[in-house]
Amino acid sequence: MERVTGATPTGAYPHRMGHPAARRTHSVERSAVTALVPVAALVPFWLLAMVVVWLPFRWAFGIPYWMVPGAWLLVGLVLLLPVVQVGLLSAFLGARAPAPEEVAVIAPIWRDLAAAANLPQHRYSVRVIDSEELNAYACGGRLLVVTSFALQELTSRELSGVLAHELSHHLGLHTAALTVGHWLSLPVVLLARVGFFLQNVARAATDSFVRHSAALTAIGRVLAAALTAVSWVFLAALYASDALSNVVGRGAEFEADRRAVRMGYGQALADALRAVIRLGGGYRPVGWRARLSSSHPPARTRVARIEAMLRHPSG
């Protein structure tokens, strides 16, 4: 969090400071590597989308193809700058800086957590989203987001476990590939939407203006079908990439839980997950479609694993 004010409770979590994991910061975990799989699956479709974007520039200015994807990647590198990233992501997500009363809650927790992780307090920023959902997540490379409902419903101890889990995603570099995947998916999403829009336009124009001509009606329907097919190609790529990301994401959740336990926040995190269960969340998805669309393991499963790690720290 960026230079929040407030006092750290003396001896609030004294056992954490000497834990071996408290002296380690970033490390590349298995989920950070496997998260590259959905990105790799998306790359061919991103390159295809770049062809569509490039064609008007080629006709107008005669520029080579490589300049368009190169420019896209260059802009993506600019977005890695912490100030730019936090500002743009916060605006995109509708997140805001914590209010003074929220700072009073977050600041002591964050200072203790930063010390436990051997990190400067300003390394990451905490933002708040006004929402009636109990949720928090890490995004980009520097941002942690928590909902206003979570701040209201969770105790300080439970909130410390949640923030430790989200920070663990950053420390395990779980969000790096996800951020790259989101950036590459933007032109794919755009072209899929444009394709469906043009397909609707072609169909409406065919029905309205050329119904008297069988030949023109056939051409209009073929054009609409072609646009639909192209749009579904891009959309299918997005669905496949999302499904792979969810499979990888479930492993990342377990790894972040494990790091939080090693930092000394395991019981606090388990209590926060119990609060999620108590409020009706964190259920086990039913059916293969629900499982594919679920990015988190069931909360009860996570609690059971955390308790097992607490009972057997060396396991």
Top-ranked range on mean pLDDT: pick from 165-174, 180-189, 194-203: 165-174
- Average pLDDT over the chain, rounded to an integer: 79
Q: Dig out the tokens for 138 from the structure.
A: 């890490």
pLDDT at res. 80: 77
Q: Is 164 left (phi over 0), alpha (psi -120 to 50) or beta?
A: alpha
pLDDT at res. 13: 37
What backbone phi and psi angles, to 5 degrees, belong to 269?
A: -65, -40
**Higher-confidence residue: 170 or 216?**
170
pLDDT at res. 7: 33
**Residue 31 predicted with pLDDT over 90:** no
In the chain, the largest separation of any two C-alpha atoms, in whole Å, equals 83
Residue that is written with structure tokens 């408290």 in the block: 22
- Alpha-carbon Rg of the chain, whole angstroms? 23
**Residue 3 predicted with pLDDT over 60:** no
pLDDT at res. 196: 64
pLDDT at res. 165: 95
Question: Burial of 57 by CB count in 10 Å (0-12 exposed, 13-18 middle, 19+ buried)?
Answer: middle
Instruction: Name the E strands within 164-258.
Output: none
pTM over 0.85: no
Give 183's DSSP letter: H
**Residue 21 predicted with pLDDT over 50:** no
- List the one residue out of 182, 193, 152, 95 whose CA is nearest residue 275: 152
* CB 136 within 8 Å of CB 167: no
Q: Return the minimum-mean-pLDDT range out of 14-28, 123-137, 207-221, 247-261.
A: 14-28
Sheet holding 125-129, edge to edge: 125-129, 143-147, 136-139
User: What mean pLDDT do residues 161-177 have?
Assistant: 89
Q: Return the minimum-mean-pLDDT range out of 39-48, 265-274, 284-293, 305-314.
A: 284-293
**Residue 124 predicted with pLDDT over 70:** yes
The C-alpha atoms of residue 156 and residue 12 are separated, in whole angstroms, by 11
pLDDT at res. 108: 94
